[in-house]
Amino acid sequence: MIHRRRKSASDAEGVSSARVYSIQSISVKGDTMKTNFKFLYFLLILVLVVSWQEASAQAKKLPNIVILATGGTIAGAAATGTQSGYTSGAVTIDAMLTAVPGIKEIANVKGEQISNVGSQDMTFEIMMKVARRINELAKKSDVDGVVVTHGTDTMEETAYFLNLTVKTDKPVVLVGSMRPSTAVSADGPLNIYNAVAVAGDPNAKGRGVLVVMNDWIHAAHSLTKTSTTAIQTFMSPLRGLVGVSAYGKNDFYNNPTWKHTTSSEFDITNVTKLPRVDIIFACADMSPDLIDACVANGAKGIVIAGVGNGNMNKASVDAAARAVKKGVVVVRSSRVATGMVDRNVEINDDELGFVASDELNPQKSRILLTLALLKDRPAAEIQTMFRSY
Ligand code: ASP
Give yes or no for residue 10 having a pLDDT over 80: no
Residues 134, 201, single domain; the answer is: yes
User: Best of 74, 115, 120 to mutate for ligand 1, by most ligand atoms within 8 A of CB?
Assistant: 120
- Say what the pLDDT of residue 88 is: 82
Ligand 1 mean position to 94 CA, how many Å? 19
Rounded to whole angstroms, the Cα distance separating 304 from 311 reads: 8
Residues 258, 281, single domain; the answer is: no
Per cent of the chain over pLDDT 90 is 81
Residues 160, 258, single domain; the answer is: yes
Q: Of residues 8 and 281, which shows the higher confidence score?
A: 281
Q: Whose CA is nearest to atom 3 of ligand 1?
A: 151
pLDDT in tens, 157-215: 999 999 999 999 999 999 999 999 999 999 999 999 999 999 999 999 999 999 999 99
- Say what the pLDDT of residue 60 is: 59
Find the domain containing 368 and state its range: 277-388
Residues 127, 228, single domain; the answer is: yes
Residues 304, 236, single domain; the answer is: no
Residues 205, 331, single domain; the answer is: no
CA-nearest of 374, 334, 358 to 164 is: 374
Q: Whose CA is nearest to atom 7 of ligand 1?
A: 151
To the query of whether residue 269 is one of the catalytic residues in this protein, the response is no
Per cent of the chain over pLDDT 70 is 85
On whether residue 26 sits in a domain, the answer given is no
CA-nearest of 238, 324, 264, 320 to 131 is: 264
On whether residue 159 sits in a domain, the answer given is yes
Averaged pLDDT score across all residues of the chain:
90
pLDDT in tens, 149-171: 999 999 999 999 999 999 999 99
| Paired strand residues for 87 | 77
Q: How confident is the model at residue 5 (pLDDT cuts 50, 70, 90)?
A: very low
With a 6 A CB cut-off, is 119 part of the ligand 1 pocket?
yes
Residue spans of alpha helices (H) in 62-187? 93-98, 103-106, 124-138, 155-165
**Residue in 32, 35, 70, 73 annotated catalytic:** 73
pTM of the model: 0.85
The amino acid occupying position 178 is M
Kindly report the number of other CB atoms within 10 A of residue 155's CB atom. Answer: 28
Instruction: Ligand 1, residue 89: give the atom nearest the CA.
Output: 9
CA-nearest of 131, 71, 92, 86 to 266 is: 131
Instruction: Ligand 1, residue 71: give the atom nearest the CA.
Output: 9
With a 6 A CB cut-off, is 180 part of the ligand 1 pocket?
no
On whether residue 50 sits in a domain, the answer given is no
Residues 108, 247, single domain; the answer is: yes
Can you give the CATH number for the domain in which 107 is found? 3.40.50.1170
On whether residue 219 sits in a domain, the answer given is yes
